Structure 1
Amino acid sequence: MDVLPSLIVIAALAIVGYIIGSIKIINQGYEGIVERLGKYQRTLKPGLNFVVPFLDTVLVDSTREQLLDIEPQSVITKDQVTIIVDAIISWKILNVQKANYAVENVEKSLKSLVLTTILSEIGRMDLKETISSRNKIGQFLVTELDEPTAEWGVKVIRVEVEKITLPDTLKKSLENELAAASERRAEISKAEGTVESIQRIAKALKNNKEQASEILKYLLAQQYVATNYELGKSNNSKIIFMHPKELNEAVGGLIETEVAENIQNMGGDEEV
């Protein structure tokens, strides 16, 4: 008679254990698949779910957005320049069933596909276009990856080309080119400023021809002194001392000629 209560207790415990074992809670942001005896049975959504203990196996995957870092890769551009590209992928699982059965390893397959697509896309672009089109490359990759990744039950949300590293020799060459371009812009700006100054002076002289001769003499003398100063800084230059009177006469003749020509060019008819 003592056996029956024991059996009841054992049965009750078994039932409780079965119920507890059949409960499967899936957290928000995750989904699971149920395999019964190795075969796909169904998909579990977030919340309280029930499975068959000992027969069902539950595999849980995150359906939240995930990041996948692509290690720096050597890529050859259309103009045969080897660069190093570093990218990061933002992706998520849309269908846990496909993600588990379509490919053996989703992350590994996704990384391989992205690398192949990056190599192909940059291979159609020259270096200049590649550097200036990082966002464009990312958008193109997202579009190109949509179809193949849909078969895996995943979605690539963003591909960011974080960094493009150039070879040291090429980097130095580009730095020199940028410096030269900056110098050319400075020279153009200086020239534009000089032209503007000349236009202002010409306008002033046109309105006051009585002082035109003296102003032009002063400007030419100033230019002469500045030019000789620059020549004097050269290692190969020679210093020639001249008597102030002789210097004044020598420069004076040149100035008189220049003044006459400048006034004539301005439409002046007076004699200097």
Structure 2
Amino acid sequence: MEILNSVAAFLNRLFSWWFLVMPWEQAIFIRAGKNTRLLGAGFYFRIPFLDSVYIQTTRSRMINMPVQDMSTTDGKTITIQSAVSYSIGDVEKLYNTMFHPEITLGSMVMGYISEYVNTRELVNCSPSAIQEYANKRISEIDYGMNDVKVSIITFATVRTYRMISSDQGRMWENLEMGPKK
């Protein structure tokens, strides 16, 4: 069955002389691995095995970030969850500057949030101030993305408790089952 799938995929690639870019997409057209062109919506022809086409949607995307626990300079702990929305404005620039936009953008935003919180006291760490700082920092870069916006979803000042785990192994020493009687 795998052989038939391989043959079908090969024939599909061999006879696929055209492609379609929808109105909400952009495409990068690469001829012989050298010449690139940015394509908008439309119907295009390609030469199989010589031309490569990468199509991306330019519609708005949303990334939900994991929860971050950070300490302020006065030793208080803040728990924050954020989200990032963006759309792709220039697929060619994006492909030339980033590998995984979601991972890269998410890591950058988490870093900016952490940078803000770790350098200030709790009284200066409001959700709106953190959000404004992250949006300002992320707008300074240009990777072919439009409408990049950071939103703070949850914000809480919490007390952190750490469990001491060095003695926990001893707690279970005498609870092992003995031989069956």
Deviation string for 1:246-272 (max 9, x for gaps)? Answer: xxxxxxxxxxxxxxxxxxxxxxxxxxx
Between Structure 1 and Structure 2, the one with more strand by share is 2
> Quick check: 1:104 aligned with 2:95?
no
Question: CA–CA distance in 1 between the matches of 2:88 and 2:48?
Answer: 27
Partner residue in 1 for 2:122: 127
The answer to whether the 8 Å contact 1:145/1:156 transfers is: no
Q: Relative to structure 2, which stretch is displaced further, 33-42 or 62-71?
A: 33-42
Letter in 1 for 2:83: I
Work out which of the residue numbers 130, 144, 160 in structure 2 matches 1:153.
144
RMSD of equivalent CA atoms? 2.3
Partner residue in 2 for 1:143: 136
Partner residue in 1 for 2:65: 70
State the Cα distance separating 1:93 from its structure 2 match.
1.2
Question: Tell me, what secondary structure is at the counterpart of 1:78?
Answer: coil
Question: CA–CA distance in 2 between the matches of 1:165 and 1:136?
Answer: 14
Question: CA–CA distance in 2 between the matches of 1:158 and 1:128?
Answer: 24
The unaligned stretches of length 5 or more in structure 1 are 1-16, 171-272
Larger radius of gyration: 1
Question: CA–CA distance in 1 between the matches of 2:59 and 2:30?
Answer: 22
The answer to whether the 8 Å contact 2:74/2:122 transfers is: yes
Question: CA–CA distance in 2 between the matches of 1:101 and 1:169?
Answer: 42
Partner residue in 2 for 1:79: 74
The answer to whether the 8 Å contact 1:33/1:40 transfers is: no
Letter in 1 for 2:149: R
State the Cα distance separating 1:32 from its structure 2 match.
0.8
Letter in 1 for 2:140: E
Q: How many percent identity over aligned positions?
A: 24
> Quick check: 1:32 aligned with 2:27?
yes
Closer/same/farther in 2, CA of residues 141 and 40 from structure 1, 3 Å limit: farther
The unaligned stretches of length 5 or more in structure 2 are 1-11, 162-181
State the Cα distance separating 1:160 from its structure 2 match.
0.8
> Quick check: 1:95 aligned with 2:69?
no
Question: Tell me, what secondary structure is at the counterpart of 1:71?
Answer: coil
Task: Provide TM-score, normalisation by structure 2.
Answer: 0.73
Work out which of the residue numbers 163, 166, 174 in structure 1 matches 2:157.
166
State the Cα distance separating 1:169 from its structure 2 match.
6.9
The answer to whether the 8 Å contact 1:25/1:49 transfers is: yes
Partner residue in 1 for 2:165: none
Letter in 1 for 2:123: K
Question: Tell me, what secondary structure is at the counterpart of 2:37?
Answer: strand
Higher relative contact order (CA 8 A, sep 6+): 2
Partner residue in 2 for 1:182: none
Question: CA–CA distance in 2 between the matches of 1:169 and 1:30?
Answer: 46
Between Structure 1 and Structure 2, the one with more helix by share is 1
Question: CA–CA distance in 2 between the matches of 1:139 and 1:166?
Answer: 19
Partner residue in 2 for 1:211: none
Closer/same/farther in 2, CA of residues 45 and 169 from structure 1, 3 Å limit: closer
